[in-house]
Each structure stands twice: as structure tokens, then as C-alpha cells.
Amino acid sequence: MKLFILSAGLFAAGLANASLAGIKREQVLVSNCLSNKNVPTQWKNSSEYNTLAEPFNTRLVYEPYAIVLPETNQHVQDAVACAAECGIKVQAKSGGHSYASFSSGGKDGSLMIFLQAFNNVTLNQETGIVSVGGGVRLGNLANGIYDQGKRALPHGTCPGVGVGGHATHGGYGHVSREYGLALDTIVGLDIVLANGSLVHATETEYADVYWACRGACDSIGIVTKFEMQTHAAPESITYFDFEYSTGIYKDKDTYIETFLHIQDVALNTTVVDERISWGIYENGSLYKIGGAFHGTIDDFKATVVPEFLRTLPTPNVINITSYSWIDYLKLVSDRNAIIEPLTGYDEHDDFFAKSITVPEKDGFTAAALGAKYDYITTGKVPSFFVITNLYGGPGSAINEKDTEFAAYRDRDSLWVLQLYGNKPGNTSLPFINGLTAAITGAQPQTEFGAYLNYVDPSLSADEAHKLYYGEELYGELQKVKEEVDPDEVFWNPQAVVVSA
């Protein structure tokens, strides 16, 4: 790999700038390169470094060698080119909500490129296509397109999540069964590649890059701008929840039969179409079915409620309320406002999470549900929750596409589970890993997968590739990786690697 030739003075200046004892030669080289190109950078001795470096998941703290704060595409290009020239690994940070802290590099010593200045949201009133900076957070995106033209996108409920990782690795939301994933709305991308070039990727331009970045962009490049096709925002959303207290956990048969009935409803074409979505939240004491219906309360009560409650135990609470689109987003985010600050975002948690995707052809069996019940109700249970979201079923736009459309595998799932333990330190790991193993182990005939946006840091690279992509899709991604990033500049512990 070609290296910069430095004079003694430049080498000493780089070492002083980095202010690190025992610094590696390549880090000194990249320090000089960034300085020479006037790339805005925060070093470890800089005033803002610690705040900028703090990850969302404080259980996994890594120290980037430096944090680049680009203000222009050229800054991103120069930063990537410098890192590539000097052998430093790179990862972009959009919102920083990576469950595994991969936006910090996934190890010490990477170069973090924090896109917080790329916060533009501009809607084309004629086409409905919105131009979105790579550092925009979901709340600001939703608010911006609604204010500019009463438009909406399918995306997650947490307003602080950045569009970059979310939309390039799925992007499930409560209207995804109607509109698809956030990933599915992408029609164009401005991407900085490993050689420092900036390309515009679409279905017809840099098509391989466009395909690969919709599913594995952390391994391919850095998106500085998204072009996304919006939809007309719903005039109203019917929110519903049926809430149970501890009673549902007191009897195993009731627990199993309750979910099996919900699963039957999920597949019932006379009840379910693309307008409805729901999730089941449980934490060992509370069991809550909650979701959204794109329609009126009267329609929901006439078509959905009777079948839902036909064989379910009587809920402790039934809530059915109509909201405007923005008020609904506030509700599910548990916020009074969804607009996030452009700088100084400061939300964190200490947790460990896993995910399970369940093929629609199999669904969950009584055996798997029974194993889940046994694991939750016996032994010492730490603080945790499980959310089981309806993903497939009749009319689901998510499952209408395949891996020819984008490098995203989960197009045949009925359910997607998030298993989340929020005890400090590593306390949650054995419980969450054990719960996952109990569920999947009781249904060995099913090939379960995992959802990439709930990235699991406990997986080896090979395990992650198998769960997230599968052998065939991963092989195709390796071909693109070899073409555009043969030196593996864009890296994290589970990134796509060049085949041997």
C-alpha cells in the first residue's frame, strides 16, 4: 500500500497533534494527511472528543483514533482517502444508535466520520422525492417532510436514530407493511467510496453499489445524501392496544394459545391487509398488543377487533384512539416532540440485544412458545423486554420484494423479535442469549434469521453473515466489496470481507 513520504518536521508535527505515547506509524500518517487537507477533526485531546465518541450503547465503548466532522462532501472524500492511504479502518456515524457501537468502529483506533452537519431535508413537491442528508435523524426527517408537503416515510419510532444505518440495513416501521421498509424507498444515493470518489448510485448508475448499499452499506461506502420516495401522510391513524397484567403468565397453556390465536389472525386474509401493523410487548409481567391501523376507528372496530378478541383472554385495558400522523409519531416515540437537536444529542443506554426473524411458512410452534414461557417464568429474570412485530402476512409490502431488488434478505418473515436486556454491564448477556437459544432450539426444523438493525455484537463474523445475509447473498456482496473496497477500508467486526 502506498504511503505518504514525510519530512522529519511533518512527522514530528503529526505526533504532537495526535498527542499519544506509542502511537502507530499509520496513525501519524493519517493525522498529517487530514491536517494538510484541512479536514475538520477532533483528536483525543480535543475538547469535544469525549462527548462525540460516547456511544448510544455505553456497554460497548471504543476509542476512535480521531473523529472527523465533515461539512462538505469533499471533507468526507478527503478523510476516506487519507484513511485508505494510511491503512486506517473507517466507519460512518449517522445517528450513532448502533447496538454494537459499530459506528464507533467496533474496535479502538478506527477513524469515525460523524455526519451530523449533513442535516438537510428538502422535498420535491412535484415528485414527492426527498433529499436527505446522511446525518439526519428520523424525527427531523419525519417532521421535515410533513411540514413541507404532508408526506411520510416508513421508518422506526425512535426519533434520535440516524437515517444512515437505519435505511441502509432495513428500516422497519409501523406503516412498513403498507409502504415497505425505509430501504425500499431509496431511489438514489450519493456515496463516497474507498478510493475517495463520490458517485451517484441509482438503479441505472453504479447499479451494483446501489444494490449493495441497500442492505450492507457499512461495508461499501458512506452515504452523504439519500433520495427517498415519500408517500402521502395518513390523514389519521387508529392506534390500539390490548393490555394484560401478570395474569397471562400464570398459565402456560393460556400463554401459548394466546399467541397462536394472534398468529392465526395475522394470517387471516379476511381481517388483515396492508393497512394494519402491530407488535407484542412483554417483560415477564406486562403483555401488551399494540399497533396501528391506517383507517377509521369505526372500520377497525368492525373488521379487526371482533376477531382479535374472539378467543383472547379479556384484556385489563382496551385503548382505541385516532391520531394525526405527527401526533401518532409523538405517541409511539413517547415524546412531546420528535425534532432532535442537530448537535449535542445525548441519549444512551447500557444493554445487550438480539433478534429473531421467523419465516412465514413456519410461524411459531407451540413448542417454541412453551420454551419461551418456561424460560421467562423460571429462574432469576433480569430487566428485559421482548417485542414481537408483525412483518409479513396478507398484503405486506415488505415481503413483495426479494434480493434481486436490494441486498436485503428478510423478505419472507412473519415475525421479527427484538430481545433486549437492560441490566448494566454484561449481566443481560447470558439471559438474552439463553432465551434466544431456548426459543430457536425448541423449533429445530425452522431456519431462523436475524434483523440487521438489531445488530448482535456477540456473533462471530461468520455467524452474522449467515444470519443476516445467507451464503448466496453474502457471496454476491463479496463480489461488490472486492470491486469497490478491495483493501477493506470500511470495516467493523461483522462487515463484508473480500473472499480469500
Q: Is 431 helix (H, G, I), strand (E, B) or coil?
A: helix
Read off the pLDDT of each residue in 251-255 and give the average, rounded to a whole number: 93
Q: Quick one: pLDDT band at residue 23, thresholds 50, 70, 90?
A: low
Q: Which residue has the cell 466507519?
A: 91
- How sure is the predictor about 79, in pLDDT bands with cuts at 50, 70 and 90? very high
In b/e form, how buried is each residue of 87-109, taking b as 16+ CB within 10 angstroms? bbbbbbbbbbbbbbbbbbbbbeb
pLDDT, tens digit (0-9, with 9 covering 90-100), for 261-290: 999 999 999 999 999 999 999 999 899 999
d(CA 244, CA 285): 9
pLDDT 10s digits, 147-193: 999 999 999 999 999 999 999 999 999 999 999 999 999 999 999 99
Which pLDDT value is given to residue 380? 72
- What's the average model confidence in pLDDT over 405-414? 97
CATH architecture of 236-323+349-458: 3-Layer(aba) Sandwich (3.40)
Comparing 4 with 396, which gets the higher pLDDT?
396
The CATH topology of domain 121-233+473-484 is: 3.30.465
Query: Could you tell me if 354 and 456 are in contact, meaning their C-beta atoms sit under 8 angstroms apart?
Result: yes
- For residue 164, the SS3 value is helix
Q: For residues 308 and 78, which has the higher predicted lDDT (pLDDT)?
A: 78
Mean per-residue pLDDT, 116-134: 98
Q: How far apart are CA 265 and CA 306, in angstroms?
A: 11
Of all residues in the chain, the percent with pLDDT exceeding 70 is 95
pLDDT band at 246 (very low <50, low <70, confident <90, very high): low
Percentage of the chain with pLDDT > 90?
A: 86
Q: Where are the domains of the chain?
A: 8-114, 121-233+473-484, 236-323+349-458
Pairing of β 237-244 and β 317-323: antiparallel
Say what the pLDDT of residue 20 is: 42
pLDDT digits (tens, 9 = 90+) for 466-475: 999 999 999 9
Read off the amino acid at residue 229: Q
Residues in CB range of 445: below 8 A, 6 or more apart: 362
| 22 pLDDT more than 60 | no
16: pLDDT strictly greater than 80: no
Residue 5 exposed, middle or buried by CB count within 10 Å (0-12, 13-18, 19+)? exposed
Which of these CATH numbers, 2.60.40.10, 3.30.43.10, 3.40.190.10, 3.30.420.10, describes 8-114?
A: 3.30.43.10
**pLDDT (average), residues 249-257:** 92
Cα-Cα-Cα-Cα torsion 3, 9, 13, 19, nearest 10 degrees, comes to 90
Query: What rounded mean pLDDT belongs to the chain?
Result: 93
